[in-house]
Amino acid sequence: MSMPLAVIDKVSHRFGTVDVLKDVNLEVQQGSFTVLLGPSGSGKTTLLLILGGFLTPSEGRVFIAGEDCTLSPPAQRPTTTVFQDYALFPHMSVAANVAFGLRMRGIRAAERNGAALNMLRLVGLETQAVKKPHQLSGGQRQRVALARALIMQPQVLLLDEPLGALDVKLRRQMQDELKTLQKRVGTAFIHVTHDQEEAMALADTVIVMNGGRIVDWGTPEQVYSRPRTRFSAAFMGESNLLDGIVAKSGKSEVLVSTLLGEIQLSGEAKAGEKINVAIRPENLKLQSGRGARLHLGKARVCEVMFQGSFKRMSVRTEGREPLLLMLRVAVEESAKVGEQVDLYCRPSDFALLRE
Amino acid sequence: MRRIGGSLAIAYAIVLYGFIFLPVIVLVLFSFQGTLFPVPPFNGPSLRWYQAAFGDARLTAALGNSLMVAAASSGLAVVLGFMAAFGFARYRVRGAGVLRGVLAAPLSVSYLIIGMGLLILFNGLGVPKSLLAVTIGHVVINLPLCFAILYSQMGEHQVNIERAARDLGARDWQVLLYITAPMLWPALFAGFFLSMTFSWDEFVIAFLLTRFDTTLPVEIWNLLRSGLSPKTNAIGSVVFGVSVVLAVLLEAVVLRRRTQS
């Protein structure tokens, strides 16, 4: 892999006595779409502001394109930021907004207006150039903010919850546009959000943050199906969490004993350690087959809810210590409340979690 | 009973407005007097006293001085008030509450005290009584006003907009000039014209701080000492007219902003 474009090296930040970021390390690759995902107060926006140069971290360093930018002001970094409220200049036309950065660079009016029009064409707003921001819809303002930031040809584009103010339908549409735009311009995007669906739809790499730390990272598939921590397992959607004790510890495999029996998992843990394992509801099956060869025992159906494209089912395992588990099963599944069912899964569907 | 109450209220309103506006009406009416004295009976209308007033070199000079002092002191008060408001709104200042209080304090001090204080100070510093001195005096009374107006209009929602401008390469002065000031344009306008109206008919400070070149209110006072003349009425009507124009301009801006938002 090539040299990373942006590096966050052991960064901590305090607001007064509150630790907002605790020893965060992060590498962002050239041309990638990275999403910082976390609940409010997780430190994701603070991290973005530090990358953009709006905050100087209490400790640690920031490298962008090989240079130490820790103390550089925003304008002297190869980054631009798209703010949550768009922060458009209300008294300027759309074209003047987009051209503002070039104007500050001292580029002549004719030239910068031409460049602004090209940029507006890229985001599909070339007909709106003479309007004022307040005459545009939310989605259009969003695109003006993108054009205004991208005209500076940054190496990294920072986006602070850019879709947060849009309604759900428009948000999904803008997600697609954002992804297409990123592929087209090839700039590395770092995008902050608290919406895990948005993160999964956009990201090449998801960084899950909680309490000022990075608690998980990887492709959306990795983070979804093999979360590293309890927090990311729960935050990335519904999950069944089981307590377990490590029975045997191998080189990169462990045997964990749980209420569903002994489970072989990849991962590292010491024998005797108390840990958690997680399995997604859609990975629990009522029939064996398609690799779902691990029999987890019998259970009784407690509740079935029709959800359109699938059925949500909760079941209670039988035994001395019953467990309540969530399943997502096909709509054709006919098991009724009170019926006894068998539970199966693939051994690789379990993920070993750390706190 | 209700009808009596209603007509009482109307009568009261007429008396009240009459009390406020009758002197002004009389002043303006007798500025058009055709004879030597601004007392009934009214002979006219005639513009001879306006001609006399505008033919009086001292009065026209004073009129020019007044406009100059009003424009200069208001401009300075707006610029200084804007920068102070920006500083308090955007930076963490130690003891900001106390400092803001001190900055606004001259609003509650009488013009006489301010004028006397400046007189003593300028005496000590060797600054002569002059139009410059009265300009500074008017900055003192108008700066707190401009600061209060502008500070109230600087909100959190502009912080990200200024951040965005910095991100795109704007220097501090460019942020102020291209972003912050245009966003606050109505407040800057209101501050300027309100200051103009206060400076335009301010007497006490101007009286204390000028000697040979003086402002219009002081010149009118000089005229009044030599007795009543329709010429004083004429120039007084001009002062009143300018005040009305300033007030209307101010109102237009404030109302326009209200209907916009």
Is the ipTM of this structure higher than 0.90? no
Q: How far is B234 from chain A (nearest CA, A)?
A: 43
Q: Does B168 touch chain A (CB under 8 A)?
A: yes
| B189 contact residues in A (CB cutoff 8 A) | none
**Predicted confidence (pLDDT) per residue in A49-101, tens digit:** 999 999 999 999 999 988 898 899 998 999 999 998 889 999 999 999 999 99
| Residue A57 C-alpha, separation from nearest chain B C-alpha, in angstroms | 17
The predicted structure's pLDDT at residue B257: 61
| pLDDT for the residue numbered A296 | 84
Residue type, A243: D
Task: Give the residues across from A256 on adjacent strands.
Answer: A246, A263
| Other beta carbons less than 10 A from residue A306's beta carbon | 9
Query: Radius of gyration of chain B from Cα atoms?
Result: 23
Global pTM? 0.77
Q: Is the Cβ pair B160, A83 closer than 8 Å? A: yes
Interface check for A89 against chain B (CB to CB < 8 A): the answer is yes
**CB of B124 within 8 Å of any CB in chain A?**
no
Return the residue in B168, B174, B185 with the most chain A beta carbons within 10 A, the one to mutate for interface testing: B168
Q: Inform me whether the pLDDT recorded for A172 exceeds 50.
A: yes
Closest by Cα among B73, B82, B85 to B198: B73
Name the percent of chain A lying above pLDDT 90: 36
Domains along chain B? 57-260 (1.10.3720.10)
Instruction: Give the pLDDT confidence score for residue B261 in this predicted structure.
Output: 45
For residue B161, the distance in angstroms to the closest alpha carbon of chain A comes to 4
Say if residues B45 and B31 touch (Cβ distance below 8 Å).
no
Q: Which of B161, B167, B169 sits opposite A81 (nearest CB)?
A: B167
Is B181 part of the contact surface with chain A (CB cutoff 8 Å)? Answer: no
What pLDDT sits at residue B259? 55
Question: A173-177, A224-228, A267-271, B218-222: which range is least confident on average?
Answer: A267-271
Per-residue pLDDT reduced to its tens digit, B39-83: 777 777 777 778 777 878 888 888 888 999 999 999 999 999 999
Count Cβ atoms within 10 A of the Cβ of residue B234 and give its class: 0-12 exposed, 13-18 middle, 19 or more buried.
buried
Q: Cβ–Cβ contacts within 10 Å for residue A1, how many?
A: 6
Per residue in A105-139, pLDDT tens?
999 999 999 999 999 998 888 898 899 999 998 88
The DSSP element (H or E) to which A44 belongs, if any, is helix A44-52
Domains annotated on chain A, with CATH:
6-231 (3.40.50.300), 238-353 (2.40.50.100)
Output the DSSP codes for B161-207.
Answer: HHHHHHHTT--HHHIIIIIIHHHTHHHHHHHHHHHHHHHHT--HHHH
Residue numbers in B near A87 (CB within 8 A): 160-161, 163-164
* Residues B122-150: tens digit of each pLDDT: 988 888 888 888 999 999 999 999 999 99
Of all helices (H) and strands (E), which one includes residue B53? helix B48-55
Q: For strand A294-306 and strand A261-266, is the pairing parallel, antiparallel, or unpaired?
A: unpaired
Assess A63–B contact: CB distance below 8 Å, yes or no: no
